[in-house]
Amino acid sequence: MASHGLSYDGCNFFRQRLVLSTLSGKHVKIKNIRSKDDDPGLRDFEASFIRLLDKVTNGSRIEINQTGTVLFYQPGLLYGGSIEHDCNPQRSVGYYLEALLMLAPFMKMSLKATLRGVTNDPTDPTVDLLKSTALPLMKRFGVDGEGFDLKVVKRGMAPGGGGEVVFTCPVCRTVKPLQLTEPGKIKRIRGVAYSVRVSPQMGNRIVESARSILNQFLPDIYIYTDHMKGANSGKSPGFGLTLVAETLNGCFLGAEMSSTPQGQGDPILPEDLGKNCAKLLLEEVYRGGCVDSSNQSLAVLLMTLGQQDVSKVLLGPLSPYTIEFLRHIKDFFQLMFKIEVQKPTEDERKGGDKVLLTGVGVGYSNLNKTVK
């Protein structure tokens, strides 16, 4: 196995490297993790992420040096089962859930993960966004079945947390190749305005301001208000909005905003938050493509691990995170995609350059046979 190992420098793209290492079976060594910082080594939320990986795998070997600046990870078998994990409140549950969404379909047993911590914060994708954009995308690739769901049991805003999320995913036999090249026009917008430990009126104020912008474009807009009380409302006050635009061809583009965490930075008015979030959704629609920018890497991974057949997906401009993800795919799976840039047509008039990704999957079942 020694020849199959990969070595990286620095703490960037930490989750990508560990997730792809787990799926490919290649061990990875990451050196110089914040070695020049005043506080060197792994952060608490990264250590918590490693513990989560250890829970869903069987036989993983993890070695960290005393200062925490060097990590060696030898992946075990992706096992799954029923797990519970207390996520570090420095990052939201979305940080951990993004990685679980990538790993869950390829486990030996169906996964039931109960994650506790911060469910909504301004930095990571919130649970609501992942539920309404990532899950439908995975269903397009054939990752579906009884019990494929993501439930918010309790909400917890940053910095206190106290939220709880249950993610269940059945075992996926094969990932289907996908031709997703026509996004189609936007037919409706749905959303959730949530508020905890503040006046329930906050939700209505957010909805009002978001609608003031979106109603100029289409009439079919419905934004639910979700006000959780008591034990289900976590430990910190806050509010936010998640918006999802659905196209005629069943593609989902999402955008979201959360209020500034208590005691950090300038507070934001619910009216401003609603308007800014609506503009972010319009920005996402302007970028175009069949997958929104937060789920590009998930689409790329499912194309990679699909059957040995051609998949095509049209994306908006690639985010820096996705560009690095494509480089890592080349390192771990020796797979490269054909990338074609499509200029906006006359019909669209405006809009960014689209990127058409074409690739042949490596077939995850074949991969497993070589790793064992």
Residue-wise pLDDT for 226-266, tens only, equals 999 999 999 999 999 999 999 999 999 999 999 999 988 89
Q: How much helix, strand and coil, in percent to the nearest 5, is found in the chain?
A: 35, 30, 40
pLDDT band at 370 (very low <50, low <70, confident <90, very high): very low
Q: What is the mean pLDDT of residues 343-347?
A: 70
Instruction: Name the strands in the sheet holding 186-196, side by side, starting at the edge strand that comes first in the sequence.
Output: 221-228, 186-196, 238-247, 252-258
pLDDT at 351: 66
pLDDT band at 346 (very low <50, low <70, confident <90, very high): low
Whether residue 363 has pLDDT greater than 50: yes
Q: Which residues of 89-107 are buried (b: 16+ CB within 10 A; e: fewer)?
A: bbbbbbbbbbbbbbbbbbb
To the nearest 10 degrees (0 to 180), the angle between helices 14-24 and 364-371 is: 80
| pLDDT one-digit tens code per residue, 308-319 | 999 999 999 999
| pLDDT one-digit tens code per residue, 34-61 | 999 999 999 999 999 999 999 999 999 9
Q: What is the mean pLDDT of residues 92-99?
A: 97
Helix (H) or strand (E) holding 201: helix 201-214
Instruction: Give the residue, 344 or 195, on which the prediction is more confident.
Output: 195
pLDDT at 371: 43
Instruction: Name the strands in the sheet holding 163-169, side by side, starting at the edge strand that comes first in the sequence.
Output: 81-86, 111-117, 163-169, 149-154
Q: Is the pTM of this model over 0.75?
A: yes
Whether residue 124 has pLDDT greater than 70: yes
Question: Which domains does the chain possess?
Answer: 1-78 (3.30.1370), 186-287 (3.30.360.20)
Instruction: Name the strands in the sheet holding 179-180, side by side, starting at the edge strand that comes first in the sequence.
Output: 179-180, 310-315, 354-360, 338-342
Instruction: Give the residue, 277 or 2, on which the prediction is more confident.
Output: 277
pLDDT at 233: 93
- HSE (side-chain half, CA atoms, 13 Å) at 37: 14
